[in-house]
Amino acid sequence: MKLFHSAGRQKKTGTDMTKGSPFRLIMAFALPLFIGNIFQQFYNVVDSVVVGRFVGSQALAAVGCSGTPFGFFMTLIQGFTAAASVLISQAYGAGNEENQRRAYGTSAVIILTAGILLTAIGISIARPLLILLKTPENILDQAVIYLRTVCTGILATCLYNMMASCLRAVGNSMIPLYALILTSLLNVLLDLVFVIAFGMGVFGVALATVLAQLISGVFCFFYAVGRFPQFAPGNLLTGFHRQTASEVFRIGIPSSMQSSIVSISAMCMQRAVNSHGSVVTAAYTVGNRTEQLFFCLSFAIGLAVGTFSGQNAGAGRYDRVERGHKAGFVISTVYTALTAAVLIPCAPWFFRIFTTDAEVISIAVPFCRITAAFAPVLGMVFIYQNLLRSCSDIAPTVWMSITEVLSRAVLPFVFSALWGYTGIWWATPVGWTASAIIGYLRFRSGKWKEKSRRTQERLERA
């Protein structure tokens, strides 16, 4: 089978979102993303279920508190994968294959270089960072093992995120989905083998995650280079372009800052949780895993609206961007309202999947119910962040993140002092609400249209 096509031919296996019903296009694009996100969450959920059921609540807490700092490392990369997606989707919408090649090659060099540096940093500072987060002493050693192991797989995660972003930018959300289904099932199998059969504990679930992520990245890479000439391997060496690099940094650095400061706020919240002991940490882990699983479609809708907006902004169809916003708003609101209706009464039953510890479950229930009630607000945050970013209007998305940082970095300690660990659960919804208001006001101002026009003009002059 011939995998590498010449740059002169382009096989159209993406989706042109500049034509057709915004509602149908967003739904069709979001559903595979939703299913993919469900399977992606299995990485975390299965890890938690396996260690919670077969190792114990302390191991469950160790995996949970290690995931937050690892998420911070990955946010430093995700801004650049988001930049690649923005530039490729706009170039795809404009029908400019040369700019697609430049965006791909330039972004890949930047992302892989950053991945190598973060791997070394993550492994070296794992223990000091976990101590800084007040990780309880009885789970510290297990948490260090988990964090160092998943950090060795940062490059594998970079490969998957990069290739999945490139494919989604040209409207192909099915291949990242297939990759996630395949590797999520593999992750489940490896978790069970490493933990139950070999008794490898938290190291086993971390190793399973790394191997599964590597396979998904390789799968997406070979598909992309075989179907899209603009993603050919040669462009990794010849596609680097100085002007494009400046655009990647212009979009990627604020986006990484946006994601990383949100992640820092999550670490602050984790620190507040950890200070109440390993039982509360385990409860927070259970609540977080359940919340992330149920909010997958909200995240997928935000990505779909972002891709739709990027392609139409690249084509100068700002009227369709506004129509896409309305469609995304309706879909997200209906879904999140249904999610809240299920989670609020049924949370205890879901938690029993992870653990049989009655104390852990009783502490996790209020957390899940509070965040579920604010699920529609979180849906709006995802939509405005992706829409504005895809139209090259980056600064407001940074301010959206700053509000989350201020609320999650400060309020958990204030509320905890007033109402105990239950007060911590209110910090996140406050941040979501403030962030959604900023995004809404910026969208209504219409300034994102001018930002998009300027980006297109700079790239055309390059």
Q: Which of 269, 216, 224 is nearest to 407 (CA)?
A: 269
Q: Residue 188: helix, strand or coil by DSSP?
A: helix
Question: pLDDT at position 44, please?
Answer: 66
CA atoms within 13 Å, Cβ hemisphere of 189? 8
CA atoms within 13 Å, Cβ hemisphere of 226? 10
Q: Which helix (H) or strand (E) holds 136?
A: none
pLDDT confidence band for 4 (50 / 70 / 90): very low
Q: How far apart are the C-alpha atoms of 311 and 184, rounded to whole Å?
A: 30
| Range from 155-164, 167-176, 327-336 carrying the lowest mean pLDDT | 167-176
Question: pLDDT at position 290, please?
Answer: 82
Q: Rounded to 5 degrees, what angle do the CA atoms 101, 106, 109 make?
A: 130
pLDDT confidence band for 462 (50 / 70 / 90): low
Return the beta strands (E) in 149-199 as ranges: none
Is residue 124 pLDDT above 80, yes or no?
yes
Is residue 59 pLDDT above 60, yes or no?
yes
157-177: average pLDDT: 85
pLDDT in tens, 87-122: 888 788 777 878 888 888 888 888 989 999 999 999
Q: Which of 426, 318, 325 is nearest to 380 (CA)?
A: 325
Contact 74, 44 (CB under 8 A): no
The two three-digit tokens of residue 41, written as one number: 């969450």
pLDDT mean across residues, the chain: 84
pLDDT in tens, 316-330: 889 999 999 999 999
Question: pLDDT at position 3, please?
Answer: 32
